[in-house]
């Protein structure tokens, strides 16, 4: 499935959601996908297979955020990691986005 990860996440009121720790930069699905798979959940206890999967999913999002191609399994992995890291608003918007394609 092809995803356009350049879309900006919307707040509860429908306005663009911004990163408070990054001086108001709009939060895109690409940023969420790249950050959650590459940075936030990887630690010493993360199994090597998950680290490898995170690398390749992140690479795919980084190389072509407008036409990122993910399988249903990839989407499940990404959503699982987003749920571990982000606030409910980001989780909900990511679920709406990825589940709309399934």
Extents of the domains making up the chain: 2-100
Tens of pLDDT, residue by residue over 40-76, are: 566 677 788 888 888 888 888 888 899 989 999 999 9
Structure tokens at 26: 């709009």
Give the model confidence (pLDDT) of 3-26 as tens digits. Answer: 899 989 999 999 998 876 666 788
Give the Å distances, CA to CA, from 34 to 5, 30, 65: 10, 6, 10
The rounded radius of gyration (Å) of the Cα atoms in the chain is: 13
Residue 26, phi then psi, degrees to nearest 5: -65, 140
Output the CA–CA distances (angstroms, integers) from residue 9 to 19, 71, 77, in the order listed. 10, 21, 19
Length of the chain: 102
């Amino acid at each position: 499935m092809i995803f356009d990860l350049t879309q900006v996440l919307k707040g509860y009121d429908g306005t663009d959601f911004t990163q408070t720790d990054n001086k108001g930069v709009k939060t895109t699905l690409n940023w969420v996908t790249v950050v959650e798979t590459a940075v936030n959940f990887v630690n010493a206890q993360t199994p090597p297979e998950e680290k490898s999967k995170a690398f390749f999913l992140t690479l795919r999002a980084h190389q072509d955020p407008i036409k990122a191609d993910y399988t249903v399994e990839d989407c499940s992995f990404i959503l699982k990691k987003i749920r571990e890291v982000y606030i409910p608003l980001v989780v909900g918007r990511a679920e709406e986005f990825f589940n709309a394609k399934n």
